[in-house]
Amino acid sequence: MFLQQHHHLDRSPSKTACPAVVRDAVPASMRRRAAAAIADWPDHRPTPLRSLAGLADESGVESVQYKDESLRSELASFKALGGAYAVQCLLRDRFEDATGSPVTLEDVERIRHPDLAAAITVVTATDGNHGRSVAWGAQRFGCGCVIHMHERVSVGRQTAVEAFGATVRRVPGNYDDSVRAAARDADLNGWLVVSDTSWPGYEDVPRSVMAGYTVMSSEAMDQWPLDAPPTHVFLQGGCGGMAAAVCVDLWSRLGTATPRFVIVEPASAACLHDSAFAGAPRAVDITTESIMAGLSCGEVSLIAWPVIDAAVDDFLTIGDESIGPLMRRLARESSIVAGESAVAGLAGLMAAAADPGVARRLGLSPASRVLLFGTEGATDPEVYRRLVE
């Protein structure tokens, strides 16, 4: 297993207290509100943190803990926490505008304004999981939903979104083209965009999405089994929203004891790596789709970038070849259902550990305690079966 590229930022190995640019990207009040609202969802249950002792041994580190998001509700991905929660927040704001009186997130959850909800349509682009979360939220809270998918998203992922009552529109091009198509259609039709990525002038909704994601890292910290916090977190990157949310949460919580953050991306969609190299957001025009569909994004989320720029120490890119074998290993050795994008962090760890120069620059040692987020299960069962069986 080998790395395609490694970009190491020469930061001091010890971190300062969490700077405002990180902490305030998703303010503590927003994180608390998201945690309270999501805890109130009837089917909400924390996902387990699993120890991967064999893989820790093999990587030469003390421990590897894997947060298993395959067990995150019926959606089987951490994305359940973001898009659906952002739909809830957006409906609350719209209901307040319409009624002129205060509306709570609980009012939205309990569908106390069904007529107002039914008059609203939310729209987003997706390569699978985010759209599913938005469709799930729209169905639960009683509004309409249109999802844009680019032409290379699998049929299985389309069916999964349609199962929650959303209308799917196929658009030519890649993920970033579908983001633009969704925004255009929203303007034309008076729909509300619920995107997981942000751009100039569009920040509030993706911030709610990120607030939802911090529920995952908060749970991981509540479940962390050791006396000392993690030393390293390997985070798979798409547009960077998930990685940034975890950095905000962990650095705010742990202060100077915050772990080292390492981002792992597919080599074909390494917009975060390229941005770190350039020192400013850079887009990648995706011509080859990675098997890691959820990570196949070519443009960095505007609100994620300052966090990633301040918090992340290393950027790794990997090819697709290690993904199937790692999915198989987790299935056979640990009975974990890990989807294609779920194992990217683990693939980055294994590749770094196998390269003594990179392992040294990352500070990986027998004393390292590694946290991974297994961000999805078999979200496309057909692709999963093909890769694992």
- List the catalytic residue out of 15, 67, 68, 127: 127
For the CA atoms of the chain, what is the radius of gyration? 20
Residue 204's identity, in one-letter code, is D
DSSP string, 96-164: HHHHSS---HHHHHTTS-HHHHHT-EEEEEESSHHHHHHHHHHHHHT-EEEEEEETTS-HHHHHHHHTT
Per-residue binder mask for ligand PLP (CB under 6 A), 93-122, x = binder: ------------------------------
| CA gap 110, 89 in Å, rounded | 13
Question: Which CB sits closer to ligand PLP, 103 or 372?
Answer: 372
Do 106 and 36 meet the contact criterion of CB atoms below 8 Å apart? no
Nearest-approach distance from CB 110 to ligand PLP, in angstroms: 29
Nearer to ligand PLP, 60 or 306 (CB): 306
Among 83, 137, 212, 294, binds ligand PLP (CB under 6 A): 294
Candidates 198, 231, 322, 375; binder of ligand PLP (CB under 6 A) is: 375
Distance of closest approach, residue 196 Cβ to ligand PLP, in angstroms: 6
Beta-bridge mates of residue 49: 67
**Residue indicated by tokens 């009837």:** 42
Which helix (DSSP H) or strand (DSSP E) does residue 322 occupy?
none
Should residue 130 be labelled a site residue for ligand PLP when binding is judged by CB under 6 A? yes
- Residue range at the interface with ligand PLP (CB under 6 A); choices 108-116, 177-185, 289-297, 361-369: 289-297
Q: Do 118 and 143 touch, CB atoms closer than 8 A?
A: yes
In the complex, what is the shortest distance from the CB of residue 76 to ligand PLP, in angstroms, rounded to a whole number?
A: 9
Residue 341 sits in the site that holds ligand PLP (CB under 6 A): yes
d(CA 21, CA 311): 10
Site for ligand PLP in 226-255 (CB under 6 A): 236-243
For residues 241 and 348, which CB has a smaller minimum distance to ligand PLP in the complex? 241
Least separation, in Å, of the C-beta of 113 and ligand PLP?
Answer: 30
Give the SS3 label for residue 47.
coil
For ligand PLP, the binding residue among 63, 70, 77, 275 (CB under 6 A) is 77
* Least gap, CB of 206 to ligand PLP (angstroms): 9
Query: How many residues in the shown chain lie near ligand PLP by CB under 6 A?
Result: 20
- Per CB under 6 A, does 259 bind ligand PLP? no
Establish whether 79 is a catalytic residue: yes
Residue identified by tokens 């979360």 is: 133
Instruction: Please pick, among 79, 196, 313, 380, the residue that the annotation labels catalytic.
Output: 79
Within the chain, residue ranges assigned H as helices are 20-23, 28-39, 53-59, 83-99, 105-109, 114-118, 129-141, 155-162, 175-189, 204-223, 241-254, 271-278, 305-311, 323-334, 344-353, 356-362, 381-388
- Cα gap 286→149, rounded to integer Å: 15
Nearer to ligand PLP, 108 or 377 (CB): 377
15 in catalytic set: no
Q: Closest approach of Cβ 61 to ligand PLP, in Å?
A: 22
CA dihedral (283, 285, 288, 294) positive or negative: positive
Residues 178-217 that bind ligand PLP (CB under 6 A): 196
How far is residue 49's CA from residue 341's CA, in Å, rounded to a whole number?
A: 17
The catalytic residues are 79, 127
**Interface contacts to ligand PLP, rule CB under 6 A:** 77, 79, 129-130, 196, 236-243, 294-295, 297, 341-342, 375-376
